[in-house]
Amino acid sequence: MAAISNSVQPSRFRVLKKGSRPSGKELGPVVYWMFRDQRVSDNWALIHAFEQANMSNVPVAVAFNLFDQFLGAKARHLGFMLRGLRQVHHVLEETLQIPFFLFRGKAEDTIPNFVREYGASLLVTDFSPLREVLKCKEEICKRVDDSVTVHEVDAHNIVPTWVSSEKLEYGARTIRSKITKRLPQYLIDFPTLQPPIRKWAATTQVTDWDGIIAEVLREGAEVPELRWCEPGEKAGMEVLMGSKNGFLTKRLKSYSTDRNNPLKPGGLSGLSPYLHFGQISAQRCALEARSVRKLYPQAVDAFLEELIVRRELADNFCFYQPHYDSLQGAWEWARKTLLDHACDKREHLYTRDQLEKAQTADPLWNASQLEMVYYGKMHGFMRMYWAKKILEWTKGPEEALEISIYLNNKYEIDGRDPNGYVGCMWSICGIHDQGWKERPVFGKIRYMNYAGCKRKFDVDGYISYVKRLVGDIKKRKAQDLLLSDKAKQICS
């Protein structure tokens, strides 16, 4: 049984700005600007906002800003996110009587304006190591009044990024013990949410969710929504431990044996969409996994290694390495070896467009690309092969990195995440890895090839599996179009 925390540990949040309240001025409400952790349950940032409000006997409101454009999000991402947020809105207002405000535009404008309009004294936000978010927060801190305090809570990692390490870590080997020694302190049960007694008296907002969702789906239609992946906190918990096909309840047993087999996507947890959008807490996943460790210790240990060590290592990299998405962010040995081999002759050279359309001479690679474009979640094992081949087939490491990040962010439902930047940097620039036997193009970067995959799994079976998957998705799309044409005819 995990220990229960009664309050948010001070090390879980950072004071980004200390407000200076003029003496005699009454404390205003607390605003939680939700960004990365889009859930009500198991959310340290929300718990912190409630706790602070209760201490000062002031109300709380939650605000979310929908950027017009954030890292190229398309219908696939925005649809999933907004449908999840609609549930957050419902639970906050209906169950907890906490108002939820959805803004559109630049958070640098909307959040300070909101804070000012309602005279808030404390702005709480969650944590993301991505530069766009850090920059945005810096600007918000400048724009809110001097009297406003700003707290940033790491609600995404189990051990807060700034606690697990104060520097850029070399790899899993160097961060693992730093994280594990702190787990007794941080991997604890969440306290029960205590919504403030003092209620928000000011006006609330009516949000036209259907209208906004329809608009983002239209604008981002190039990459459509996924059918198989239901958004929201409830759906995330169902994937984790539902009685029908939950990871911990039904699929955990095979995690240690099947997770590297692309023909068995159910061998993985399938949690990355929920973790990325913060619709489930990694800490909740870890607590529940740990509670069934007795049954399948090997599988649980392997899962916790990915969920905690690898995932938190990715945040460490993006937080402490400003060049987390460029060759400049690679270690010296990797940069040198890649540049030494940048002019090596490539057997094939493809453009971004050819790669995006899966027009290479390698049917295995094409299948993985199509799995990502149509299904929206490429199998974890194939992601490594996929990115390494891009290094092999483009003009040099910079271009390979740019293309892989572009495609990953555009099509993966869990893309636009520190894990994605790190996955591409690991595959192409050897970060968190070691040097291997030198060879053309790759230099000392770890190499993967078709023959190696053939030894590991049924390559032809995977290619046929993706072909069927894509065929089914295209068929359903054609049926939908037909139905919507018929509906239009009836209406006109």
**Which residues contribute to the site for ligand FAD (CB under 6 A)?**
259, 268-272, 275-276, 306-307, 310-311, 314, 380, 383-384, 387, 408, 412, 414-415, 417, 419-420, 423-424, 426-427
The residue (of 51 and 412) whose beta carbon lies closer to ligand FAD is: 412
One-character DSSP codes across 276-339: HTTSS-HHHHHHHHHHTTTT-HHHHHHHHIIIIIIHHHHHHHHHH-TTTTSGGGS-HHHHHHHH
The residue (of 108 and 433) whose beta carbon lies closer to ligand FAD is: 433
Q: Which amino acid is at 344?
A: D
What's the closest the beta carbon of residue 132 comes to ligand FAD, in angstroms? 16
The residue (of 161 and 427) whose beta carbon lies closer to ligand FAD is: 427
The residue (of 316 and 337) whose beta carbon lies closer to ligand FAD is: 316
What are the C-alpha distances in Å from 93 to residues 143, 232, 263, 273, 301?
28, 16, 43, 25, 38
What's the closest the beta carbon of residue 273 comes to ligand FAD, in angstroms? 8
Q: Are 163 and 181 in contact (CB under 8 A)?
A: no
Q: Are 50 and 195 in contact (CB under 8 A)?
A: yes
What's the closest the beta carbon of residue 438 comes to ligand FAD, in angstroms? 22
Residue 199 phi, psi (nearest 5) = -95, 155
Q: Which amino acid is at 280?
A: I
The residue (of 199 and 253) whose beta carbon lies closer to ligand FAD is: 253
3-state secondary structure of 140: helix
What's the closest the beta carbon of residue 146 comes to ligand FAD, in angstroms? 39
Q: Which residues contact 164 (CB under 8 A, 6 or more apart)?
A: 157, 175, 178, 179, 182, 312, 316
What is the dihedral sign for C-alpha 311, 317, 319, 322?
A: negative
Ordered strands of the 149-153 beta sheet: 13-17, 149-153, 122-126, 30-34, 60-66, 100-104
The residue (of 79 and 267) whose beta carbon lies closer to ligand FAD is: 267
One-character DSSP codes across 451-492: HHHHHHS-HHHHHHHHHHHHHHHHHHHHHHHHHHHHHHHHH-
3-state secondary structure of 101: strand
The residue (of 196 and 423) whose beta carbon lies closer to ligand FAD is: 423
Q: Which residues contact 367 (CB under 8 A, 6 or more apart)?
A: 358, 462, 463, 466, 467
Residue 448 phi, psi (nearest 5) = -135, 145
What's the closest the beta carbon of residue 443 comes to ligand FAD, in angstroms? 18
Under DSSP, the state recorded for 12 is: G
The residue (of 121 and 272) whose beta carbon lies closer to ligand FAD is: 272
Q: Which amino acid is at 425?
A: M
Residue 472: name the closest of 262, 251, 226, 214 by CA: 226
Q: Are 152 and 126 in contact (CB under 8 A)?
A: yes
Q: Are 195 and 93 in contact (CB under 8 A)?
A: no
The residue (of 89 and 383) whose beta carbon lies closer to ligand FAD is: 383
Structure tokens at 299: 């599988």
The residue (of 380 and 435) whose beta carbon lies closer to ligand FAD is: 380
The residue (of 233 and 412) whose beta carbon lies closer to ligand FAD is: 412
What's the closest the beta carbon of residue 265 comes to ligand FAD, in angstroms? 8
What's the closest the beta carbon of residue 420 comes to ligand FAD, in angstroms? 3
3-state secondary structure of 345: coil
What's the closest the beta carbon of residue 212 comes to ligand FAD, in angstroms? 25
3-state secondary structure of 426: helix
C-alpha 426/C-alpha 400 separation (Å) is 12
The residue (of 140 and 424) whose beta carbon lies closer to ligand FAD is: 424
The residue (of 122 and 424) whose beta carbon lies closer to ligand FAD is: 424
What are the C-alpha distances in Å from 453 to residues 385, 427, 458?
8, 15, 8
